[in-house]
Amino acid sequence: MSQQLAIVTQGLTKQYKNITAVNNLDLAVPKGTIYGFLGPNGAGKTTTIRMLLGLVKPSKGTLSILGYNLETQRNKIAQKVGAIVETPAFYNYLSAEDNLKVLAYSSNLSLTSNEINKLIDRVGLTGRGKDKVKTYSLGMKQRLGIAATLLSNPEILFLDEPTNGLDPAGTVEMRNLISELGAENRTIFISSHLLNEVEQICSDVVIVKEGEKKLEGKMSSLLAQTKGFAIKANPSIEALSILQQYPNLETKPETDDWLYVKAQADDIPSVISALVSARVRIYQVIERRNSLEELFLELTGQPKQALSHS
């Protein structure tokens, strides 16, 4: 049986005069997944989220949420969706409690003060519910934004840069909260620049650039691909000359002691055997896998200097 889909877009396009913000984007987000939506600045992430929320009308293409057409069946979707788009916006002259009341009423819900306070507690704003939002830091507003998305206990959450403005401890808390929300069988569509965060919490990922999809897949399978091996050997110069005799291997020095060998896992025993036979000492062999950061930079054409050697 095919997996049920929470969000489906087909040929989604948004054109602003001469600029194509989103170009022919096909998405199929399975229900119950934490779906990372990645791309550099200006890739069309926020425009896509705004289109998925009905704030911006697509120039072309179709989109459906939970099987309902967004254009014609909005009333069936509205209460099933919660969202933070870019920086959360609130009525600064109102308290957090009043803001949540306004947003609950706007969802045609009448929540009790107790229910609102529970949400405030859940996002770590205990004791600050009566304070006006104008006294809140960006991080606190982000937390309040999460509380606002949960008012109608939605099936789908759209979170656009949810860790923006949070300190490291707040980021960890937010990550745990998002994982917790995902474990409640919600679909979470999360856009973030923090690739490490996305790598840790998302089950699926799509990378977009200039409004076009560059890669989509399960995080586990994308990151499982072996890129090659790093070998710590001594003397490394001799090791390099031995390995360069294998035409099917691509070998290059990384540091004084380390060599990088682009090879399949099946090639490694013979490589090690050849080095040992030549009296090269082998200290470590490390399998190199794709990191989300490397994949992202490779697909989006960002400078390679940004890559770490880890």
Residues in contact with other proteins by CB under 8 A are 46-47, 50, 53-57, 74-76, 78-79, 81, 83, 85-94, 98, 101-110, 148, 152
Peptide bond preceding 235 in cis form (omega within 30 of 0): yes
Query: Of 16 and 283, which CB lies nearer to other proteins in the complex structure?
Result: 16
Question: Rounded distance, CA 171 to CA 184, Å?
Answer: 20
Nearest CB to other proteins, comparing residues 138 and 278: 138
Strand, coil or helix: 143: helix
306 DSSP assignment = G
How far is CA 302 from its chain centroid? 17
Shortest distance (Å) from residue 127 CB to other proteins: 21
**Which CB sits closer to other proteins, 110 or 221?**
110
- Measured from the CB of residue 232, what is the shortest distance to other proteins in angstroms? 51
> Which residue's CB is nearer to other proteins, number 153 or number 264?
153
* Structure token pair of residue 131: 């304070």
Torsion over CA: 257, 263, 265, 269 (sign): negative
CA 60 to chain centre: 25
In this structure, how many other beta carbons lie within 10 angstroms of the beta carbon of residue 203?
15
Alpha carbon distance 79, 106 (integer Å): 10
DSSP 256: S
Calculate Rg over the CA atoms of the chain: 24
Shortest Å distance, C-beta 231 to other proteins: 51
CB nearer to other proteins: pick between 57 and 60: 57
Q: What does the alpha-carbon distance between residue 270 and residue 267 come to, in Å, rounded to a whole number?
A: 6
CA distances from 181 to 38, 84, 146, 294 (A): 20, 15, 10, 28
Which residue's CB is nearer to other proteins, number 14 or number 214? Answer: 14
Smallest distance, Å, CB 26 to other proteins?
22
The DSSP letter of residue 132 is B
Q: What minimum distance in Å lies between the beta carbon of 74 and other proteins?
A: 5
Cβ 103 to other proteins, closest distance in Å? 6
Minimum distance from CB of 94 to other proteins (Å)? 6
CB nearer other proteins, residue 94 or residue 299: 94
